């Protein structure tokens, strides 16, 4: 009999992970194809090949399930956004590119993205709390990036990286909401964000005197 490796998930845990993955994949597929409102838990369960009651072991309701699906997708987008190859170059070039993975996902699902943002704002559930915590963690990672640029002399030392990171993320959210609410095309939203982040980068720059002689 083969023993599992130390620290490896048990067979029961692997079975749970497999069910969760199937449920999430089914939910994302059906939400995208049919829309959030038109999709039922029963349809998701059938697509995932589980009983409807099994779905409720992972999410309290359909809204919670959508938040759970987006949480994992956003986690992947964050990982891609903060990949080392995206972080090289001047700050005014790096900052807009950080949000490309998010826009790429939302571009294929604008209606679903609108439902997601509405639930993040108004749905009270553990998954919403988890989603808000994920956003806060991303802002902290942005602050870490700015802190590193401070040490390199690119960002003024008298600026608070946490406040600047919050401002950057707020600009992204404003452009995203503007697009999803019908305030223009996605291309316009991305151009607007790049322009706003360009201004933000200029405001963050260390002065020539602070940088010292070239």
pTM: 0.83
Look up residue 68 and give its two tokens.
């759970």
pLDDT for position 177: 92
pLDDT for position 211: 47
DSSP per-residue codes, 11-45: HHHHHHHHHHHHHHHHHHHHHHHH-TTT--HHHHH
Residue appearing with tokens 């870490």:
144
**61-208 domain in CATH 1.10.357.10?**
yes
Local confidence pLDDT in tens for the 214 residues of the chain? 445 545 566 777 888 889 999 999 999 999 999 999 999 999 999 999 999 999 999 888 999 999 999 998 999 999 999 999 999 999 999 999 999 999 999 998 999 999 998 898 888 888 888 889 999 999 999 999 999 999 999 999 999 999 999 999 999 999 999 999 888 899 999 999 999 999 999 999 865 334 444 4
User: 3-class SS at 9?
Assistant: coil
Report whether 155 contacts 146 (CB < 8 A).
Answer: yes
Asked if the domains at 1-58 and 61-208 fall in one CATH topology, the answer is: no
Report whether 174 contacts 189 (CB < 8 A).
Answer: no
The full set of domain ranges for the chain reads: 1-58, 61-208
pLDDT for position 98: 94
Question: What is the Cα–Cα distance from 144 to 7, expressed in whole angstroms?
Answer: 31
Question: What is the Cα–Cα distance from 189 to 176, expressed in whole angstroms?
Answer: 7
Question: What is the Cα–Cα distance from 58 to 23, expressed in whole angstroms?
Answer: 9
**CATH of 1-58 given 1.10.10.60, 3.30.710.10, 3.40.50.2030, 3.60.20.30:** 1.10.10.60
Beta strands in 133-187 (DSSP E): none
Q: What CA–CA distances, in Å, run from 110 to 33, 36, 39, 95, 103? A: 12, 12, 16, 23, 10
């Amino acid at each position: 009999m083969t023993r599992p490796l130390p620290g490896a998930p048990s067979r029961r845990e692997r079975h749970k992970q497999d069910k969760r993955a199937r449920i999430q994949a089914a939910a994302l597929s059906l939400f995208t194809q049919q829309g959030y409102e038109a999709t039922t838990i029963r349809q998701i369960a059938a697509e995932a090949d589980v009983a409807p009651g099994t779905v409720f072991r992972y999410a309290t309701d359909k809204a919670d399930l959508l938040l759970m699906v987006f949480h994992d997708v956003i986690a992947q987008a964050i990982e891609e956004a903060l990949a080392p190859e995206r972080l090289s170059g001047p700050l005014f070039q790096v900052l807009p590119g950080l949000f490309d993975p998010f826009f790429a996902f939302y571009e294929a699902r604008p209606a679903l993205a609108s439902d997601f943002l509405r639930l993040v704002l108004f749905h009270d559930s553990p998954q919403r709390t988890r989603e808000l915590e994920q956003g806060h963690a991303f802002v902290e990672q942005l602050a870490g990036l700015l802190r590193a640029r401070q040490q390199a002399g690119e960002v003024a030392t008298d600026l608070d990286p946490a406040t600047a990171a919050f401002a950057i993320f707020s600009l992204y959210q404003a452009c995203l909401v503007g697009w999803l609410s019908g305030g223009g095309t996605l291309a316009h939203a991305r151009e607007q964000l790049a322009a706003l982040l360009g201004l933000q980068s200029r405001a963050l720059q260390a002065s020539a005197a602070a940088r010292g002689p070239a």
